């Protein structure tokens, strides 16, 4: 049986490939020249961020694929007039909204284009006014009912209709310039080439401003880009290698490539266009260098994959180890708290407090303010974790390894700065949980638990002197042996 994360990776690979195929088909439908589909395909396949999410477990590629399918069906209908194909548009919209509710910003222009097309058919007497209204209501009703059903289910099951991430990103005030920094750093990573392409495309559209059909197509492609950028500016961007830009990249290349290549006939100008795009994409590879320059924090997809699943010590393996040691299923399991509240709770099956509040909503209102990144604006203090009867505080996972003295501690934080007013984590005992590769997970022992006590007594879990923790992670000279820890 395939693991869930492997299923998601396979799903995302197909979504990535189908997104490229749909972009190619849209370009082929809109433009007679093969240069436009070739340009869009090359631009997406060589784009670091667009390709990076093809192998992860996030929903980014799937959202992009579903939104593109909606626009492809709409464009086909505008070309052929076959209304039967529009049912696929409604189903694709429902699937996109169920994948991510913010897909509404990307889909709104498509339904505007649908309404405009139906109105034009009524005006041209190819359809009655009542027929056009019924079609519009039916096609908008399917995704609306899907969203209403999802919200009702979430409200009945979880006590709130919207996911915690909505409240984390929207309900908490954040620095107003984060979204601007996010887009500015992307332009910097691309050596400014997206701005050059946009100005070039605008000039070409102004040159052909009397072509109403071409302008309507450009507006249809530009509208989702504009709405999505406003959304990014409002929520402050993201910090995962420009993940939020992935859904609009196909629209951007369809818009700029189509506007430019439909006007210019010079082979030298076409070479210049392809070269500009390639310079931007390959500059991004060099610029990132394994991290994202977003404000003071950022993480690349390669680093994220290493942390979560691919590294020799990763969060998935950490969750599996916690499950093996502490999961009983009898309702009195060890309770943990962690910043990495995706993979670790999933694989451990243990009751978990998300220290950033993405899975624990009351942290968003009671947590200590921390301007780290969008959706990561508050952090649970040790006093809150004490009140929640947490047994082990994992925080951002940190590890001690005994096999290779050149790398005693891996990524993570063992001295969190955001503690409750009545308790500091430095005062808590540390328990080492054994993992593979002669490595141990460092965890703060907050509230006693019979199973933890038993495993400590049997020597399976190892007590670690808290006062030496910071010294260990900052020094390569300390002789770290398991005898020293006992």
339 and 418 belong to one structural domain: yes
Is position 273 within any domain? Answer: yes
Q: Do 212 and 344 belong to one domain?
A: no
Q: What is the pLDDT of residue 213?
A: 81
Strands (E), 374-473: 376-379, 392-401, 430-434, 439-445, 462-464
One-character DSSP codes across 107-163: HHHHHHHHHHHHHHHHHTTSS-HHHHHHHHHHHHHHHHHHHHHHHHHHHHHHS-SS-
d(CA 118, CA 127): 8
Go through the chain and tell me how many residues it has: 486
For position 142, what pLDDT does the model report? 95
* CA 471 to chain centroid: 35
User: For residue 395, is it within any domain?
Assistant: yes
Same domain, 133 and 260: yes
Note whether 107 and 48 are same-domain residues: yes
Is residue 394 one of the residues assigned to a domain? yes
Q: What is the pLDDT of residue 230?
A: 94
The secondary structure element, H or E, covering residue 330 is none
pLDDT the model gives residue 57: 65
Domain co-membership, 392 together with 280 = no
Instruction: Identify whether 71 is part of a domain.
Output: yes
The answer to whether residues 192 and 318 belong to one domain is no
- Regarding whether 175 and 51 lie in a shared domain, the answer is yes
Mean pLDDT, 10 residues at a time, the chain of 486 residues: 61 90 95 90 91 76 95 93 88 95 95 92 86 92 95 86 75 72 87 92 79 85 96 83 90 93 82 90 71 46 68 82 91 88 87 82 71 70 84 84 52 40 62 84 89 91 66 37 37
Quote the CA–CA distance of 38 and 48 in Å, as a whole number: 18
Give the residue from 51, 14, 11 showing the smallest Cα distance to 243.
51
Identify whether residues 230 and 340 lie together within a single domain. no
Structural domain contains residue 299: no
- Same-domain pairing of 242 and 359: no
3-state helix/strand/coil string of 20-47 = HHHHHHHHHHHCCCCHHHHHHHHHHHCC
Helix (H) or strand (E) holding 307: none
**b/e map of 360-375 (b: 16 or more CB within 10 Å)?**
bbebbeebbeebbbbb
Residues in contact with 266: Cβ distance below 8 Å, sequence separation at least 6, in sequence order: none
Whether 261 and 362 map to the same domain: the answer is no
CA 256, 262, 264, 270 dihedral sign is positive
Is 11 a member of any domain? yes
Nearest-CA neighbor of 297 among 396, 381, 371, 223? Answer: 371
Query: Is position 301 within any domain?
Result: no
Domain end call among 288, 321, 346: 288
Query: Shortest CA distance to 239 belongs to which of 168, 178, 311?
Result: 178
- The answer on 326 and 190 residing in a single domain is no
Our count of domains for the chain comes to 2
Same domain, 232 and 359: no
**Reduced to 3 states, what is the DSSP secondary structure of residue 357?**
coil
Strands (E), 126-254: none
In a domain, 343, yes or no: yes
Domain range for 68 is 4-288
Of the candidates 94, 22, 9, the one whose C-alpha atom is nearest the C-alpha of residue 60 is: 9
Nearest to residue 187, comparing CAs of 42, 179, 254? 179
Q: What is the pLDDT of residue 56?
A: 63
């Amino acid at each position: 049986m395939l693991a869930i994360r492997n299923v998601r990776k396979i799903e995302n690979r197909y979504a990535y490939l189908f997104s490229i195929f749909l972009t190619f088909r849209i370009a082929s439908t809109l433009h007679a020249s093969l240069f436009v589909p070739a340009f869009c395909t090359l631009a997406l396949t060589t784009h670091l961020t667009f390709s990076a999410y093809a192998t992860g477990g996030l929903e980014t590629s799937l959202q992009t694929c579903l939104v593109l399918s909606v626009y492809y069906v709409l464009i086909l209908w505008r070309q052929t007039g076959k209304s039967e194909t529009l049912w696929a548009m409604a189903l694709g919209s429902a699937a996109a909204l169920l994948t991510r509710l913010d897909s509404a910003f990307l889909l709104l222009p498509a339904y505007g284009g649908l309404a405009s097309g139906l109105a034009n058919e009524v005006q041209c007497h190819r359809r009655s006014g009542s027929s056009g209204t019924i079609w519009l209501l039916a096609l908008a009703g399917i995704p609306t009912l899907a969203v209403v059903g999802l919200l009702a289910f979430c409200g009945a099951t979880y006590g709130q209709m919207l996911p915690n991430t909505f409240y984390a990103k929207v309900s908490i005030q954040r620095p107003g310039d984060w979204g601007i920094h996010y887009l500015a750093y992307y332009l910097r990573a691309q050596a400014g080439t997206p701005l050059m392409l946009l100005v070039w495309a605008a000039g070409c559209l102004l040159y052909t401003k009397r072509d109403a059909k071409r302008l309507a197509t450009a507006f249809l492609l530009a509208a989702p880009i504009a709405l999505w950028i406003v959304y990014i500016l409002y929520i402050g961007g993201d910090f995962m290698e420009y993940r939020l830009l992935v859904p609009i990249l196909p629209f951007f290349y369809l818009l700029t490539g189509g506007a430019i290549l439909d006007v210019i006939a010079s082979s030298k100008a076409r070479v210049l266009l392809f070269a500009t795009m390639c310079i931007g994409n390959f500059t991004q590879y060099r610029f990132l260098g394994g991290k994202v320059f977003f404000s003071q924090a950022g993480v690349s997809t390669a680093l994220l994959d290493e942390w979560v699943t691919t590294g020799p010590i990763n969060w998935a393996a950490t969750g599996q180890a916690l499950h093996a040691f502490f999961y009983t299923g009898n309702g009195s399991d060890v309770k943990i708290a962690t910043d990495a509240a995706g993979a670790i709770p999933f694989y451990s099956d243990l009751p978990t407090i998300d220290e950033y509040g993405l899975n624990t909503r009351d942290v968003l209102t009671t947590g200590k303010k921390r301007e780290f990144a969008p959706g990561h604006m508050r952090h649970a203090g040790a006093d809150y974790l004490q009140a929640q009867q947490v047994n082990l505080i994992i925080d951002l996972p940190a590890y001690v390894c005994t096999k290779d003295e050149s790398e005693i501690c891996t990524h993570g934080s063992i001295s969190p700065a955001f503690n409750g007013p009545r308790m500091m984590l430095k005062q808590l005992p540390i328990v080492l949980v054994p993992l593979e590769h002669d490595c141990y997970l460092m965890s703060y022992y907050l509230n006693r638990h019979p199973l933890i006590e038993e495993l400590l007594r049997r020597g399976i879990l190892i007590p670690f002197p808290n006062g030496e923790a910071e010294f260990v992670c900052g020094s390569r000279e300390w002789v770290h042996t398991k005898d020293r820890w006992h």
